[in-house]
Amino acid sequence: MDWLEISIDVPPEFVEPLSNIFQRYGTGGVVIENPSGFNPDEGELPPVPDLVTVRTYIPADNTSRERKSHIEVGVNLINHLHPIGSLKERILAQEDWETSWQEHFHPLRIGKNIVICPTGENMTI
């Protein structure tokens, strides 16, 4: 099954209401992407971003049109209060969804005798 990724870039004050809409009508949860590049261990405070990306995922099946329509209604209502932009969407193949994260995780040596090796990775010692 393929997935429909729906995202929007919004000012920080609109993250919570959009997350609620996405959580209600999406099935893959909500992803909130904040800018990084600060170190809280050094006492640095996170920068206040101009825009934050909010994403959700819905299955590309017979329910996707209705779910997307509900999300669009919520976004349009918020747009009446303050212009926040428009939705972006893209289709993700199921195999990409399940395996794409693995390309970022490789065996990790910790000290002399310990190696953490992700499932699916082959490693010779």
Instruction: Find the CATH number of the domain harbouring 36.
Output: 3.30.70.120
**pLDDT reported for residue 92:** 86
Tell me the residue range of the domain where 90 lies.
3-116
Residue ranges, the chain, pLDDT below 70? 28, 35-40, 46, 96-98, 101, 124-125
Could you tell me if residue 56 is inside a domain? yes
Residue 62 lies in a domain: yes
pLDDT at 125: 64
73 located within any domain: yes
Number of domains in the chain: 1
The CA distances from residue 114 to 102, 104, 109, 110, 117, in Å, are 20, 20, 6, 5, 10
Look at the pTM and tell me if it is higher than 0.85. no
